[in-house]
Amino acid sequence: MSTTENKSVEITKGINGLDKVILREINGSTAEVYLYGGHVTSWKNEHGEELLFVSSKAIFKPPKAIRGGIPLCFPQFSNLGTLEAHGFARNRVWTVDTDPPPFPSNTTNRVFVDLLLKPTEEDLKIWPHSFEYRLRVTLGPAGDLMLTSRIRNTNTDGKPFTFTFAYHTYFSVSDISEVRVEGLETLDFLDNMKNRERYTEQGDAITFESEVDRIYLSTPTKIAILDHEKKRTFVIRKDGLPDAVVWNPWDKKAKSMADFGDDEYKHMLCVEAAAIEKPITLKPGEEWKVRQELSAVPSSYCSGQLDPNKVLQSS
């Protein structure tokens, strides 16, 4: 972890004295990662605008997971297994790797930190598998945020293990009723509000007027979230993560969550790069490597309507 004179990578105290790492890119964008959960809680562009949503009622206190930002769901997504919902990675304390493996030579100008998670004795009682999870959080020169996960089976008993996974990203939006998600049209999804029954997306874009909780399957590497009011588009690029969860709790569910403001559903949307439908199995010594890259770009307009094609074709 290279700490240069300009403090591009700084370890400091966050809320309730929890350790956090601040990444600062030379062009002004920043990211913050709490060691508790290996949890990215802030991503700001060069104008200092916050791009991730964190609830004003989030509880920064173990064992409760932090509500918002980018929780890591591992080794279990939701209640698809015997563990607590979304597994335990998001409420364990990670360590900073001060001597991380090098980047490929062409990306040396990036600011990054590597965090590590290994199971404790307690973890092995509830999930009896030895693993090493390395998370690299990187800020690129254009302010893009990249999360790379490497999960290795370090079992010495010869046993494989199986898991599901998600980057449970909470995006900050101006008004959920003015937001559309592009790139998932015509795809099959499992509806979590209907016992995960399988449906096919009919709309030409996903829009929001009530609670949505879906797992889209076999999704493209690129998904766009268009925020009409902010004239901003988030682009999610993902590698090795075939599924995409789309979630907004809406008013009734929002009121039932103690760590979530009653009206905050209007200002957030989760679009989560994930591996859920087909769980991942690793043999001892095997490593699984995936990543998601988030960028925020100004939306193109065309006769007052958002033109998603420009966004999706631009790269």
What digits encode the pLDDT tens for the residues 263-285?
999 999 999 999 999 999 999 99
Rg of the chain taking only CA atoms, in angstroms:
19
CB 39 within 8 A of CB 48: no
Q: Is the peptide bond before 249 cis (omega within 30 degrees of 0)?
A: no
122 SS3 class: helix
- pLDDT exceeds cutoff 90 at 4: no
Is 5 catalytic? The answer is no
Is 228 catalytic? The answer is no
Tell me which of 25, 32, 272, 277 is the catalytic residue: 272
For the stretch 114-148, pLDDT in tens is 999 999 999 999 999 999 999 999 999 899 999 99
Query: Mean pLDDT over residues 28-43, rounded?
Result: 98
Tell me which of 168, 182, 228, 277 is the catalytic residue: 168
The DSSP code for 66 is P
Q: Is the peptide bond before 63 cis (omega within 30 degrees of 0)?
A: yes
Structural element, H or E, at residue 308: helix 308-313
- pLDDT exceeds cutoff 50 at 305: no
Confidence of residue 29 (pLDDT cuts 50, 70, 90): very high
The 10 Å Cβ neighbour count of residue 166 is 27
Confidence of residue 108 (pLDDT cuts 50, 70, 90): low
Phi, psi torsion values for 44, nearest 5 degrees: -115, 145
Confidence of residue 37 (pLDDT cuts 50, 70, 90): very high
CB 206 within 8 A of CB 247: no
Query: Which pTM value belongs to this model?
Result: 0.93
Alpha-carbon span 297 to 182, nearest angstrom:
14
CB within 8 Å of 195: residues ≥ 6 apart: none
CA-based nearest residue to 154, from 128, 126, 136, 135 = 128
CA-based nearest residue to 89, from 118, 59, 114, 121 = 118
Alpha-carbon span 2 to 124, nearest angstrom:
33
CB 226 within 8 A of CB 180: yes
Residue type, 95: T
